[in-house]
Structure 1
Amino acid sequence: MSTQADHGRELVPRPEHTPEALRAALAVVDPGRLGEMQAMKDEAFAKAVEWQSLSPVQSWVLTWARDIEIARRPDLSARHARAKGNLEDEDPVTAREALRELSAVLDEAMKAVRG
């Protein structure tokens, strides 16, 4: 499978919500974040043991599923990058619009993975 895709097309299929599937998808769409993913996974599992709750692990899965959803879809990825790039704009209107757009992208990705 090519990692080059037309605008709006998916780079990889949406992964299942398992650590292995999420890691495999991230390795294709954003391999530079694999270390970050592992560190967050270790922290989530440690908190799960400490808290005697699966909620930290569930949060980890949803966070990475959301981030992978953005990275695997060029349309969302482009919107995400533009919004992040404009968050610190000197023009407050541009910065506010960037914040709204970033929130919209994150919401759309979360809805897709919870779907």
Structure 2
Amino acid sequence: MTATPAEPQGPLITRPPQTIHALRRAVAHITPASLPAFNSGLVEAAEEADERGSIGPIRRFVQQWAVHVEIERHPQQAARLHELEALTLNTDDRETARAAAAEAGRIYATACTALGLRTGGATR
């Protein structure tokens, strides 16, 4: 009998450059269901950038999706994050929710650090 291959230990894809086009390709590959959110977020960021006369909203958009890709390209890490997010939403126990949120925060912080981003505001 052949063994079922284990989940890959390494990332699904190499880390893409932090550009809109590279991130869109990465999202399409690893989380295609997220493409509508990516596209609508890009439109919103572009409109906000135009209104403010600043590239800040575009920069935040790129960083947000770079973090998303950094987490999702590691299947075990992404699965754990999704478990933690569900746990925080579905538990009535304050301590359990707090611990799950703290662990989720560490996953985000690790992704930010890997990307060379400050951990203060980068979110998914």
Is TM (by shorter chain) over 0.5? Answer: yes
Q: Give the superposition deviation at 1:86.
A: 1.0
Structure 1: which amino acid aligns with 2:116? R
Partner of 1:11: 12
Alignment of 1:45 with 2:77, yes or no, is no
Structure 2 residue runs without a partner (length 5+): 118-124
- TM-score, normalised by the number of residues in structure 2: 0.83
Q: Give the share of equivalent positions with the same residue, in percent.
A: 31
Cα distance in structure 2, aligned partners of 1:34 and 1:99: 25
Partner of 2:96: 94
Q: Of residues 95, 103, 106 in structure 2, which corresponds to 1:104?
A: 106
Q: Give the superposition deviation at 1:70.
A: 0.8
Runs of 4+ residues over 6 Å off in structure 1: none
Q: Give the superposition deviation at 1:62.
A: 0.2
Determine if contact 1:9/1:73 at 8 Å carries over to the other structure.
Answer: yes
Q: Give the superposition deviation at 1:5.
A: 7.3
Note the alpha carbon deviations across 1:57-96, whole angstroms, 9 max, x for none: 0000000000011110123202211211210312221111
Cα distance in structure 1, aligned partners of 2:15 and 2:57: 22
Richer in helix (by share): 1
- TM-score, normalised by the number of residues in structure 1: 0.89
Number of aligned residue pairs: give it.
112
Cα distance in structure 1, aligned partners of 2:52 and 2:97: 38
Cα distance in structure 1, aligned partners of 2:55 and 2:77: 29
Q: Give the superposition deviation at 1:7.
A: 4.8
Q: Which moved more, 1:52-61 or 1:77-86?
A: 77-86
Partner of 1:29: 30
Structure 2: which amino acid aligns with 1:104? R
Cα-Cα RMSD: 1.7
Cα distance in structure 2, aligned partners of 1:49 and 1:5: 47
Structure 1 residue runs without a partner (length 5+): none
Equivalent position SS for 1:87: helix
